[in-house]
Amino acid sequence: MTEEPQEAPEGEKLQKVLARAGKGSRREMERTISSGKVTVNGVVAKLGDRVKETDRIDLDGKRITSAFISTERVRVILYNKPEGQICSRSDPENRPTVYDNLPHISNSRWISVGRLDFNTSGLLLFTNNGELANKLMHPSSGIDREYLIRVQGEVDNDMLKRLRKGVLLDDGMARFTDIKAGEGGNEGTNLWFYCVVMEGRNREVRRLWESQGVRVSRLKRVRYGNIFVPSHVRAGQWLELNEKEVMDLCATGGAEAPPKPKFSLELNKSRDRHQRRLRKAHTSRTKR
């Protein structure tokens, strides 16, 4: 007697859906589910549960939305953050936020890949896929974050060796995996350096330099993994990555490759039009 083929289980694993919604890694979501903080259609969820798009999911009493974005195109934009913007969606002091300048995204939201503080400028990445964002931010991904820094004070070779070897901060050991002198050279007491970290802890770059008795007066992120800010993208402007760049970024972060995009032709055309506008504006400025 032949066995009847088993039907594939319906829906997706709950922890995968929560991770994709940007609530944490899959392992973190497994622990959250086990602790009883998640309900599905009003019933406390258990590990192993699967959910469908029609199910209502709540985490700590709050409705989870945009959790099934895997059916949509995985999108990533780079943003050239100016100083004087915060990385929160709203601010009690009514300061401008990075989200003020981002393009509208239908049926989803932009999730920030890490943060830059108020006085730091440069490269920020945003995606509509929470799982990809978590992969890119997690220390285990080992992704380089490169900064251009201007410091005030005396810097010698012994100091640079300490910064490369490791310095004990209040939240543990930290170090630069690479330090190189900036092309600008010296400006009186100001010195420029390119520095690379791989964790992205809160104010890590500033705290490393301050531990050596020097002050960081300018700080700009210039690279995240293999992503750089193109020269034609000015401060306050954004640019959407193409499909190959998104695939490469997923591979860098160890995330699942995104599904084949649906109805992406118009999005590609829109991205290309925006790219041409930025290049045209850049060309006009350089000719003046």
Residues marked as catalytic: 117
118, burial (CB in 10 Å: exposed 0-12, middle 13-18, buried 19+): exposed
User: At CB < 8 A and 24+ separation, what contacts does 138-144 make?
Assistant: 138/25, 138/253, 139/198, 139/199, 139/200, 141/252, 141/253, 141/254, 142/198, 143/198, 143/224, 143/225, 143/252, 143/253, 144/177, 144/196, 144/197, 144/198, 144/223, 144/224, 144/225
Q: Cα 40–42–45 angle (5° rounding)?
A: 40
Alpha-carbon distance 158 to 125, whole Å? 34
Nearest CA-CA partner of 113 in 129, 101, 100, 97: 129
Is the separation of the CB atoms in 146 and 123 below 8 Å? no
Residue matched to tokens 């929560």: 18
